[in-house]
Amino acid sequence: MEREHFSRQYDAELNIIREKLLEMGGKVEVMLVNAMKALVERDTALAERTIAFDHEVNTLEMEIDDKCLEVLARRQPAGRDLRFITLAFKIVTDLERIGDQCANIAKRARELNAEPPLKPYIDLPRMAHCAIGMVKEALDSFVRGDDELAVKVCKDDEFVDQLNEQIQRELLTFMIEDPSTISRAIKVNHISKCIERIADHATNVAEMVIFMVKGKDIRHTIA
Amino acid sequence: MNSKVKLDDLNVHFGGTHAVKGVTIDFPANSVTAIIGPSGCGKSTVLRAINRMHDMTPGARVSGRILLDETDIYGRGVDPVAIRRRIGMVFQKPNPFPAMSIHDNVIAGYKLNGRMRRDEADEIVETSLQRVALWDEVKDRLKSNAMELSGGQQQRLCIARTIAVRPDVILMDEPASALDPISTLKIEELIEELKERYTIIIVTHNMQQAARVSDVTAFFYLGELIECDVTKKIFTTPDRKQTEDYITGRFG
């Protein structure tokens, strides 16, 4: 069982960081859902709102960094607290990058919505669904200190990578068959890459959770 | 790493109190080992056992072995005075000899061992004071009374007095806890430099200090050695939960 610090204020400060990270995670989840919805349902207004929403994620990034810095300066954390703070510093960067990727998806959706549809989107939403699950589970594993769930996230990345490759192959055939699709296909390809990146960021978070819980660095070891 | 001092199943009793319980640990040569733990965990008792300071305590019983380079310091025929010459000690409160000059304080340990030539004494004084980075501050007033120095300077003078007799090991019991932050940093800097020549074992309540100055950290609790490992590991990913709870400030 997790013991409390002698200093309740210290516990409170760590909790603020934990809660803000979760809030940030929640926001990037919403961004990804909405960016995909804007694409699939051709909702340009939603794409615009999603792009603007990135600002909130960026603000949280700065707030969390600031709080982490303060705890480092005032508390000189050690052991699991030190691992938590250094982890928070890194998670925040991954979450911010996820937010950027979602904004990128929304931007490409906005452009694609201005042209006739290339094809019905089937694999992209599947891929996004999996990536959202990974982001969610990575954060859950962080909150619960659940290293098994974190390992699952790392393994799920494989599936997203495979879908990304499949989509790229498919788009290539489109472009070869009909060069007039090239401009749109490149944009769809970009979205696929963005989702693949998001899954990579979720994997980074999961790997760091494993470090936080186990004190063992498993980065670059899971194929 | 070569071990300089080795405790083998060390037990210390004070009357009916079992203060140190079966401690086995190696202190590597030319390194700084920090001993940390809550009050009453036995850390100072262990430190004092290493230069036989319990010999004079009524009711104190020490068992097990303490090896200094393979010699059991509690062995038959071992002279405690000779041991203390090889294992110096620095205490929490600076304790220069109040009636002596700065010069005479440094050389006090030598004087106990008989007369020496003046130039020889002067050389030992200068070298020792230089090693503790005090020489430039006091070279023009070596005849002044040691009590005129600031607390931080007095502590460095005591360290100079300790190293003047050329020990192998320096034991430090909270050497900076009575000092201001700048003097503390100077002592810590000094510890870093001294480890090139000496093996240092330091007891400290200040965990950040242990993290800053030591190569190896040993965590004691209720008279037992709970965990001993390289300092980075102890302060980032210790193996034992008790250690982790203590260093993170969660100890119940």
A215 vs chain B: nearest CA distance in angstroms?
6
A1 contacts in B (CB within 8 Å)?
none
Closest chain B residue to the Cα of A7, Cα to Cα: B249
pLDDT, residue B251, reads 75
Provide CATH code, domain A8-214: 1.20.58.220
A96 vs chain B: nearest CA distance in angstroms?
26
Closest chain B residue to the Cα of A81, Cα to Cα: B248
Please name which of A125, A16, A115, A102 lies closest in space to residue A60, comparing C-alpha atoms.
A16
B93 vs chain A: nearest CA distance in angstroms?
26
Q: Residue B47 and residue B200: Cα distance in Å, rounded?
A: 11
Closest chain B residue to the Cα of A11, Cα to Cα: B250
Convert the pLDDT of each residue in B16-75 to its tens digit.
999 999 999 999 999 999 999 999 999 999 999 999 999 888 999 999 999 999 899 999
Confidence of residue A223 (pLDDT cuts 50, 70, 90): very low
Please name which of B10, B17, B64, B62 lies closest in space to residue B225, comparing C-alpha atoms.
B10
Closest CB to A4 among B237, B238, B250: B250
Please name which of B226, B231, B230 lies closest in space to residue B241, comparing C-alpha atoms.
B226
A82 contacts in B (CB within 8 Å)?
235-236
pLDDT value at A1 more than 70: no
A80 contacts in B (CB within 8 Å)?
244, 248
B249 vs chain A: nearest CA distance in angstroms?
6
Confidence of residue A119 (pLDDT cuts 50, 70, 90): confident
A75 vs chain B: nearest CA distance in angstroms?
10
Task: Please give the span between the terminal C-alpha atoms of chain A, in angstroms, as a whole number.
Answer: 33
- B207/A4 CB distance under 8 A: no
- A6/B248 CB distance under 8 A: no
> Is A14 within 8 Å of A43 (Cβ atoms)?
no
User: Is the CB of residue A11 less than 8 Å away from at least one CB of chain B?
Assistant: no
- Residue B67: what are its φ and ψ, rounded to 5°? -100, 130
- B250/A78 CB distance under 8 A: no
The secondary structure of chain A, three-state, reads CCCCCCCHHHHHHHHHHHHHHHHHHHHHHHHHHHHHHHHHCCCHHHHHHHHHHHHHHHHHHHHHHHHHHHHHHHHCCCHHHHHHHHHHHHHHHHHHHHHHHHHHHHHHHHHHHCCCCCCCCCHHHHHHHHHHHHHHHHHHHHHHCCHHHHHHHHHHHHHHHHHHHHHHHHHHHHHHHCHHHHHHHHHHHHHHHHHHHHHHHHHHHHHHHHHHHHCCCCCCCCC
B235 vs chain A: nearest CA distance in angstroms?
5
A135 vs chain B: nearest CA distance in angstroms?
26
Q: Residue A56 and residue A103: Cα distance in Å, rounded?
A: 12
Convert the pLDDT of each residue in B26-41 to its tens digit.
999 999 999 999 999 9
pLDDT, residue A7, reads 82
Does residue B250 or residue A54 have the better pLDDT? A54
Average pLDDT over residues B6-10: 97
A87 contacts in B (CB within 8 Å)?
none
User: Is the CB of residue B229 less than 8 Å away from at least one CB of chain A?
Assistant: no
> Is B219 within 8 Å of B228 (Cβ atoms)?
yes
User: Is the CB of residue B181 less than 8 Å away from at least one CB of chain A?
Assistant: no
Closest CB to A79 among B208, B248, B252: B248
B247 contacts in A (CB within 8 Å)?
78-79
Q: State chain A's mean pLDDT as an integer.
A: 93
Contact residues, A window 50-89, toward B, CB-based 8 Å cutoff: 76-83
Provide CATH code, domain B3-93+167-247: 3.40.50.300
Q: Residue A146 and residue A137: Cα distance in Å, rounded?
A: 10
> Is B155 within 8 Å of B94 (Cβ atoms)?
yes
pLDDT, residue A6, reads 83
pLDDT value at B152 more than 50: yes
pLDDT, residue A214, reads 80
- A78/B248 CB distance under 8 A: yes
User: Is the CB of residue B252 less than 8 Å away from at least one CB of chain A?
Assistant: yes
pLDDT, residue A5, reads 84
pLDDT, residue A74, reads 87
pTM, full prediction? 0.83
Residue with tokens 């190696």: B26
Convert the pLDDT of each residue in A124-135 to its tens digit.
999 999 999 999
What are the residues facing B27 on neighbouring strands? B5
pLDDT, residue B98, reads 93
Closest chain B residue to the Cα of A4, Cα to Cα: B250
Q: State chain B's mean pLDDT as an integer.
A: 93
Confidence of residue A222 (pLDDT cuts 50, 70, 90): low
Closest chain A residue to the Cα of B245, Cα to Cα: A3
- B236/A10 CB distance under 8 A: no
Confidence of residue B252 (pLDDT cuts 50, 70, 90): low
pLDDT, residue A200, reads 97
Does residue A66 or residue A213 have the better pLDDT? A66
Question: What count of other Cβ atoms lies within 10 Å of the Cβ of residue B17?
Answer: 11
> Where exactly are the structural domains of chain B?
3-93+167-247
Convert the pLDDT of each residue in A45-91 to its tens digit.
999 999 999 999 999 999 999 999 999 988 999 988 998 999 999 99
What secondary structure does DSSP assign to B6-70, as a single string? EEEEEEEEETTEEEEEEEEEEEETTSEEEEE-STTSSHHHHHHHHTTGGGGSTTEEEEEEEEETT
